[in-house]
Amino acid sequence: MRVNFTVNGREQQADDVWEGESLLYVLRERMGLPGSKNACEQGECGSCTVRLDGVPVCSCLVAAGQVEGRDVVTVEGLADYAKQRAEHGGCGTGACGTSLDAAKQWEARPADSQTGEGTQLSPIQQAFIDAGAVQCGFCTPGLLVAADELLERNSEPSDADIREALSGNLCRCTGYEKILDAVRLAAAREGEAV
Amino acid sequence: MDFLRPASWEEALAAKAEHPTAVPIAGGTDVMVEINFDHRRPEYLLDLNRIGDLSEWEVGEKTVRLGASVSYTKIMENLRTELPGLALASHTVASPQIRNRGGVGGNLGTASPAGDAHPALLSSGCEVEVESVRGVRMIPIDDFYVGVKRNAMEPDELIRAVHLPKADGPQQFSKVGTRNAMVIAVCAFGIALHPETRTVRTGIGSAAPTPVRAREAEDFLTAALEEGGFWESGAPIPPSVAKQFAQLASGACNPIDDVRGSAKYRRHAVGIMARRTLGWTWESYRGNERSAQCA
């Protein structure tokens, strides 16, 4: 079957989708967006977390057919999504977002502190790098999407808020402390910027 | 496999009548796991996400009509006052991502004894609104669970809503697991005090082939509270009464040994949770009584 939906602010179309296929499979294998990770396939690990109409969900548990006409944001579009939110409070025109080609090639190239060169990251992405919250990196995309959504609705989260918001995302490397540091750092930077 | 996307409730009923083997999918948190792991290859998937009113709720004078797909997140955020037991139980469901998708209709459809909503549904005394092209049925929750992962629904029926009495007294929920998030209950216990009818209702999860009430424990406690005049006096419940209630709750279990826990442990833990949740709800009831008297 064919599924039409919005990915990172742009209309997309997936063809030959099997009816039992997950949104995660469509994103990774049909759209060429491997940022959302495929691990447990049962909603335990959170590494496939995306925003579905703004709501964080495990994309492995959303049937592809269920996203027809709906709006998905993946980690590849997170930097643009956060930028739009900061500048305009979201995308009103429909002309923003991240093209599929740009998303496919998206890499985290943080701004170099010496030269200032590099890609603009979302505040939460930059904070993960600065706080050393990334080790093997497999859980990182899901954590970024979940943490970004937390900061969107709660700009001054308590430690309990952060733990609750990230309770559906497993990390086997960091012991979580650096991840908590990163979210605190991002919140503090946003607070300073205002 | 065919993917059916009804745009309205009537279309969904028609589709289910035409294809009774169609598997309804709303949040997908149960169905997609089975498909991902190749445990199930339904001929038809019946997507209910397009039917907006399944995600809505209405707070009436006496009851809350909770749409089958209202997410656990929405229940926690919006219905804590009206449905405290269910809101507490919702908070223990998996993780934010899962709570954003899953709802009570799915718990009822799957009818797993471990579903987190069941103890709260049983202790509230709700009714399940199921419908087919043949008509609507209101199934009392006490008659809904008929076996391991089996419920009282006909193949052509769909769950539309749950009608829960608004809380008339304190309610509590307790669940045993290895951590706070992302656990399937080893066992769980829900309790609701109903001061208006001077009754107590309970629900036990994961400790019998189906979710069950601890009826003997309820009857014992209801009688003990009545005879001792506790509802009027708001006096503390004697430890002997709490102990007896706990033992009877424990006795209502019919658990198995499995990877999550032993039968013996489940019986023990249900007794402990029964005693504790009774303490919490009664203290809350007494607090309200005292402040009412002072005012």
Q: Could you state, in order of their start, the residue ranges of all structural domains in chain A?
A: 110-193
ipTM above 0.90, yes or no: yes
| Model confidence at B204: pLDDT above 60 | yes
Cβ partners under 8 Å of residue A120, min gap 6: A79, A83, A111
C-alpha dihedral over B240, B244, B247, B253, to 10 degrees? -150
May I ask the CATH class of domain B171-294? alpha beta
Report, as an integer, the average pLDDT of B183-188.
Answer: 96
Tell me the sheet residues that pair with B103.
B71
- Range with lowest mean pLDDT among A131-140, B60-69, B177-186: B177-186
Instruction: Report the length, in residues, of chain A.
Output: 194
Instruction: Return the number of other C-beta atoms located less than 10 Å from residue B34's C-beta.
Output: 16
Does the beta-carbon distance from B33 to A58 stay under 8 Å?
Answer: no
Collect all residues of chain B within an 8 Å Cβ-Cβ radius of residue A68.
5
Please state, in angstroms and as integers, the Cα–Cα distance from residue B112 to each residue in A48, B107, B145, B207, B283, following that order: 25, 7, 9, 11, 32
Collect all residues of chain A within an 8 Å Cβ-Cβ radius of residue B28.
61-63, 66
Chain B nearest CA to A27, separation (Å):
15
| Model confidence at B295: pLDDT above 60 | no
- Tell me whether B49 touches chain A (CB under 8 Å): yes
Helix intervals (H) in A6-139:
23-25, 78-88, 100-104, 123-130
Does the beta-carbon distance from B28 to A66 stay under 8 Å?
Answer: yes
Q: Please give the distance of CA B212 from its chain centroid, rounded to a whole number.
A: 10
| Model confidence at A93: pLDDT above 90 | no
Does the beta-carbon distance from A66 to B1 stay under 8 Å?
Answer: no
| pLDDT tens track for B117-132 | 999 999 999 999 999 9
Helix intervals (H) in A21-176:
23-25, 78-88, 100-104, 123-130, 140-153, 159-165
Q: Quick one: pLDDT band at residue A30, thresholds 50, 70, 90?
A: very high
Report phi then psi at B226, rounded to 5. -70, -50
- Please say whether the beta carbons of B267 and B217 come within 8 A: no
- Reading across the β-sheet that carries A55-58, which strands appear in turn? A10-14, A3-7, A71-73, A49-52, A55-58
Residue in B25, B36, B96 nearest the CB of A60: B36
A110-193 belongs to CATH 1.10.150.120: yes
> pTM above the 0.90 mark?
yes
Q: What is the largest CA-CA distance in chain B?
A: 65
Q: Which residue in A142, A150, A147 sits closest to A169, CA to CA?
A: A142
Does the beta-carbon distance from A19 to B2 stay under 8 Å?
Answer: yes
Angle at A17 between CA A16 and CA A19, to 5 degrees: 130
Chain B nearest-CA residue for A42: B33
Tell me the sheet residues that pair with B199.
B194
To which residue do tokens 């989708």 refer? A17
Residue in B37, B49, B98 nearest the CB of A58: B98
- Please say whether the beta carbons of B124 and B86 come within 8 A: yes
- Tell me whether B101 touches chain A (CB under 8 Å): yes
User: What is the pLDDT, as a whole number, of residue B288?
Assistant: 80
Q: Which percentage of chain A shows pLDDT scores above 90?
A: 79
Does the beta-carbon distance from A18 to B181 stay under 8 Å?
Answer: no
Cβ partners under 8 Å of residue B122, min gap 6: B141, B142, B190, B201, B202, B203, B204, B211, B212, B213
Report phi then psi at B165, rounded to 5. -60, 140
Residue in A1, A56, A63 nearest the CB of B28: A63
Does the beta-carbon distance from A63 to B5 stay under 8 Å?
Answer: no
Q: Which residue in B84, B72, B76 sits closest to B172, CA to CA?
A: B84
Q: Which residue in B264, B263, B221 sits closest to B243, CA to CA?
A: B221
Does the beta-carbon distance from A57 to B100 stay under 8 Å?
Answer: yes
User: What is the pLDDT, as a whole number, of residue B226?
Assistant: 97
| pLDDT tens track for B68-103 | 999 999 999 999 999 999 999 999 999 999 999 999
User: What is the pLDDT, as a whole number, of residue A103?
Assistant: 87
Collect all residues of chain B within an 8 Å Cβ-Cβ radius of residue A55.
100
| Model confidence at A97: pLDDT above 80 | yes
User: What is the pLDDT, as a whole number, of residue A108?
Assistant: 78
- Please say whether the beta carbons of A96 and A10 come within 8 A: no
Report, as an integer, the average pLDDT of B7-18.
Answer: 98
| pLDDT tens track for A146-192 | 999 999 999 999 999 999 999 999 999 999 999 999 999 999 998 88
Q: Quick one: pLDDT band at residue A102, thresholds 50, 70, 90?
A: confident
CA-to-CA distance for A75 and A7, rounded, in angstroms?
11
Q: Quick one: pLDDT band at residue A94, thresholds 50, 70, 90?
A: low
